Amino acid sequence: MKPKYRVVAGLMIALLIFLAGCEAGSDDRGRGNDSFPDVAVIGSEIEGMYLARAAKDEGLSVVILDPRNQPGGQLVQGEMHFLDEPEDDSRQSLLQGRVKELFDRYKRGDIRLSGEFAQYFHSLIEDIPLESGITIVGIKLAPEEGSSRQRIESITYRDAAGKEKTLQAKYWVENTDFGALSGKLALKRIPGIETVFGGEKDYMAASMMMKFRHVDWDKFRREFNRLSKQEAEEKYGTQSTVTDKFTWGFGHVGARYTPSSKEVFLRGLNAIHLRDGEVLINALLVYNVDPSSPESVERALALGKAETEKVLPHLRQELPGWEEAELNGFPNYLYIRDFDRYETEYVLQAADLMSGTMFWDNVSIAGYPIDLQGTMSHNWGLQVGDPDKYGMPLRSFIPKGYANAIVAGKNVGASAVAYGSARIQPNTALAAEVIGIMLGRLKGEPGLAELTEQDMKEMHSYIAEKYGIILSGVKGANKIEHLSGEQIEQLNQGKLTLHD
């Protein structure tokens, strides 16, 4: 072969290799991979990890980009290990899906200590890439073809080393406790707890989990249970209870404590005996925490640590079996209950919860009292009512006007009042898992926002058959059928409370 023909042949071969590579790259994008994943989850709160795991198990590629320096959020870093279980009026558990395994192991005592929760957390995201310490600096949007919705094409972020990167994905999930993604979209904020308690923009308090050791729990339970109901209520407050593992109530113990500043408050004690005299308490509220500000979080952590040291002698004096109690370290983060949330295609209202409404696009069967935790101006908060059970629709997890965005966990679309119940971890954890399953089942066609009632019926059947999760054919008690339209509106605003 003459030299010039060798050159031409070489160029042709190179071109064919290049084209083959482009075609392979295009196929990879269609299937999804780490550089162009099917699902990108922003934040590592536990609820979104259920979505990530379900989507991965259904065959999708998933990546997690976490603005926090350490993963695990409320559950792992905040050590919020007093887990609330939703039940219906018959005291039947509403747990379904993977989160039920966590609660089963928790109740058995297999998962109690911080290291055990961390191990469980990491088992959920095994083989899913996670990058910590990122900061979103830009979002590229485009109109969704054939729709009035927008879609997120890519985000640009700085990694922990300060290098800028751009990522494309088919679906994006907001899974932080401060709206790292959704706060940068053109979305309207859902009015917050200020609509109930008045004043300017406000949020329910955060909590600093308090950790103690050398507690004689047997003595604590024994001495408490020697009291008559009247004696216990007079000394410790109404509904105070001590079991072999838990306490709740003890509002008088909190009321007898004088905080060091107006920015902290000791409410009633939700405590769990972890193991061998180690006890964790959810009771110390910290106000005015902005989880989007590292400085605010650090300041609140310092305040919470200092106050915990002051609470210790108070508990030694107030509670039998606590005479030798000591501090047992501090969590790395706070339990953030509430921050800015943004409009979704459907925003749950208190009336939906109290009427036991079920939706054609249910992704969770939920329950829990509508519990509005306190603010600086209303320390003790408010309980609005106690639903039987209710549905949570897919539309409450789709940001309004967006085709390929999803919200998880604390970002659920719920009014300030409805959020008091909807926010509970198992409610939104089940929703996240179901959405992850759906994403895998759909493989992108049609999109979540385009699903019809018939599509959801088929999806519910698939999820029930393969995963044993029941989302249809469930009925919740209607506790507001006797209310007038005006009273229902008052309920939705938190101006009317219902008690059984």
Rounded to an integer, what distance in angstroms lies between the CA atom of residue 360 and that of residue 369? 23
Which pTM does this prediction carry? 0.92
Structure-token match 């008045």, residue found: 198
pLDDT given for residue 34 in this prediction: 66
Does 26 score more than 60 pLDDT? no
The conformation of residue 346, written as its DSSP 8-state character, comes to: S
Could you tell me the two tokens for 424? 């509970």
pLDDT (average), residues 363-369: 98
Question: Cβ of 19: how many Cβ atoms within 10 Å?
Answer: 10
Of 77, 71, 50, 173, nearest to 131 (Cα)? 71
pLDDT (average), residues 145-163: 95
State the distance between the two ends of the chain, measured CA to CA, in whole angstroms.
94
Does 306 score more than 50 pLDDT? yes
Of 186, 185, 184, 172, nearest to 65 (Cα)? 172
**pLDDT tens digits along 32-67:** 566 799 999 999 999 999 999 999 999 999 999 999
Rounded to an integer, what distance in angstroms lies between the CA atom of residue 124 and that of residue 355? 34
pLDDT given for residue 145 in this prediction: 87
Rounded to an integer, what distance in angstroms lies between the CA atom of residue 81 and that of residue 73? 12
> Residue 441 half-sphere exposure, CB side, CA atoms within 13 Å?
20
Does 23 score more than 80 pLDDT? no
Residue 496 has φ and ψ, to the nearest 5°, of -130, 130
pLDDT (average), residues 180-203: 96
The partner residues of 172 in beta bridges, in order of sequence, read 40, 405
Coarse DSSP helix, strand, coil percentages of the chain, rounded to the nearest 5 percent: 35, 20, 45
CA angle 448/409/78 to nearest 5° reads: 155
Residue 168 in 3-state DSSP?
strand
Does 12 score more than 70 pLDDT? no
Chain mean pLDDT for the chain: 93
Of 327, 351, 297, 323, nearest to 491 (Cα)? 351
pLDDT (average), residues 141-148: 91
Full 3-state SS string of 364-385: EEECCCCEECCCCCCCCCEECC
Helix or strand run (H / E) with residue 249: none
Rounded to an integer, what distance in angstroms lies between the CA atom of residue 282 and that of residue 82? 7
Does 10 score more than 50 pLDDT? no
Rounded to an integer, what distance in angstroms lies between the CA atom of residue 262 and that of residue 274? 30
pLDDT given for residue 431 in this prediction: 98
Residue 264 in 3-state DSSP?
strand
- Which class for 65: exposed (0-12), middle (13-18), buried (19 or more C-beta within 10 A)? buried
**pLDDT tens digits along 410-454:** 999 999 999 999 999 999 999 999 999 999 999 877 789 999 999
Residue 145 in 3-state DSSP?
coil
Of 349, 453, 442, 450, nearest to 398 (Cα)? 450
Does 18 score more than 60 pLDDT? no
Residue 472 has φ and ψ, to the nearest 5°, of -130, 160
Letter for the amino acid at 106? Y
pLDDT given for residue 33 in this prediction: 64
- Which class for 10: exposed (0-12), middle (13-18), buried (19 or more C-beta within 10 A)? exposed
Rounded to an integer, what distance in angstroms lies between the CA atom of residue 351 and that of residue 300? 35
- 205-to-112, 286, 332, 377, 448 alpha-carbon distances in Å: 25, 6, 17, 11, 33
Could you tell me the two tokens for 338? 């509430």
Rounded to an integer, what distance in angstroms lies between the CA atom of residue 4 and that of residue 442? 52
